[in-house]
Structure 1
Amino acid sequence: MLITNIIKIDTMSYHHLEKHYLDKLDIVRKSQITNFVNQLDKKRSIVAGLLLRKMLYCNFNLNPSELEFAIYRNGKPILVNNPCVFFNISHSNEFVACSVSSKPIGIDIEKIEDSNIDSIATVLHENEKQCIASKNNYKEKRDLFFKIWTLKEAFSKKIGLGLSYPLNEYYFSFFDNGKIIVHSEWENSCNFRSYGLHNSYVFSVSSSIVEQNKIVEYSLNDLIQLINCKGLQF
């Protein structure tokens, strides 16, 4: 099983979420939210916590009030009392994405923004830099950079190394049939998918069962209605 939900969070204020839903989250996430300075970061974290709990309940029948989370090595979050259930969360600007799965999973979503691609691509592997440089125009170079970036984030999160695995020590190859392969000493039967979202975001997933991924997108109001409708006991 591999399910991904993507939520657009611009339909409800942070203050409303803080008032009605912050106390429903676990102590680990509440501590993280307290440390955030930016209100948008706080809002995204509350939504991510609510979304994860809804997904674990709907797909694994796990009661939100019984969930126990912890931070594993390199910042990887785990479900302590259900180690065979895996999840991963990512967010960018107005979107929050969450995947739950029966297998280890890594995801990343990024807003595609105009940047000095030649400069920021220096952190990548030489093969990837050459691939980007071979593109015909700026848009193609920019879009490929963000695709590679999200794939690297998803892969490093899936294998549990995070940014401790230098970006220039492994690389991705892309094929005409859509297949994506990672060349890495840590490669462990990972498969990959990369998706465009609303013409200005890119979203990538790393999992051994990525072909099973079911993606559902909805609004924050939809999420709150689902939570209230199901009467989840947080």
Structure 2
Amino acid sequence: MTHLFIAEVKPVADDSCMDTIRKYFSDELVNRLTKSPGAGHWSKRVTSRLMLVNIFHELGLNVALLRGLHYNRHGKLVMDTGTPNISISYSNSIVACVVSENKIGVDIEDMRETPTSKTMTLLEKWTGRKVKDRVDFFKLWTQIESIAKLYDDKGLADIFYGNLLSEKHYTRQYLLNNNYLVSMSALTCLDTVDQIKTLTI
């Protein structure tokens, strides 16, 4: 089953938050937090780690598995056991997290940020697809990002300069709060999301 969770970025993380993260995650992930490029990115990473603890408890998953989360040589966050699959995305004040049995990539974007005409033209050039308007741009962009996150060893370059986008993928998209677009992509037909759950962190 696929579970999609959403949370607002925690603006302030006190000592108890960091104690929780140290308790459940490896030193590698804790150290990665200290190397976050700026306070905003740090807050998003802290929020996502606290989300995972809550999600594992809620789903009845073994929280000890969280110690097996690490970054592979491509900079992707993966489980050493392979399952469950975890995919995380941030946009402004929102964090989206997917926990699933099969490989799924997720991306979330704030559609209030209007892309420039130059950016839309570049996306058309890179993908060979027509971008009609702002909504169309974000539908395509979040789909691309979610496909890139689906693979442990591929990135945007594989989509723009390879044939990855033309390969068969299944994508579902959701509009949240009339502003945020979420895309989830998989290699096989996506199983039904029971509901999108909001967490308070």
Q: Assess if the C-alpha contact under 8 Å between 1:57 and 1:64 holds in 2.
A: no
Aligned positions of 1:188-207 closer than 5 A: 190-207=169-186
Deviation track 1:139-166 (CA, whole Å, cap 9, x = no partner) reads: xx11111111110010011022123414
TM-score, normalised to structure 2's length? 0.84
3-state SS in 1 of match to 2:99: strand
TM-score (norm 1): 0.73
- Matched ranges for 1:1-234 at <5 A: 1-9=1-9, 12-14=10-12, 17-25=13-21, 26=25, 27-64=27-64, 67-80=67-80, 82-112=81-111, 113-116=113-116, 118-126=117-125, 130-132=129-131, 135=132, 141-160=133-152, 161-167=154-160, 169-170=162-163, 182-184=165-167, 187=168, 190-207=169-186, 208-220=188-200, 223=201
Mapped partners of 2:52, 2:140: distance in 1: 26
- Measure, in 2, the Cα distance between the counterparts of 1:219 and 1:66: 18
Specify every segment of 5 or more residues in structure 2 that has no aligned partner in the other structure, as ranges. Answer: none
Over the aligned positions, Cα root-mean-square deviation in angstroms equals: 2.4
Q: Tell which structure's C-alpha radius of gyration is larger.
A: 1
The 2-side partners of 1:97 and 1:66 are apart by 17
Alignment CA distance shift 1:42-1:209 (3 Å): same
Q: Partner of 1:232 in structure 2?
A: none
Distance 2:127 2:48 in 1: 32
Distance 1:156 1:198 in 2: 25
Specify which structure has the higher proportion of helix. 1
Residue type matched to 2:8 in 1?
A: K
Q: Is the 8 A contact 2:2 2:101 kept in 1?
A: yes
Deviates more, 1:58-67 or 1:47-56: 58-67
Q: How many residues align?
A: 194
Q: Secondary structure at the match of 1:36?
A: coil
The one-letter amino acid of 2:11's match is: S
SS at match of 1:148: helix
Distance 1:157 1:66 in 2: 19
What SS does the corresponding residue of 2:83 show, helix, strand or coil? Answer: coil
Deviations 1:53-86 (A, max 9, x none): 2223332521247632111242221111x32321
What CA distance in whole angstroms lies between the structure 2 residues aligned with 1:202 and 1:130? 19
**Cα–Cα, structure 1 residues 194 and 65, in superposed 2: closer, same or farther, change >3 Å?**
closer
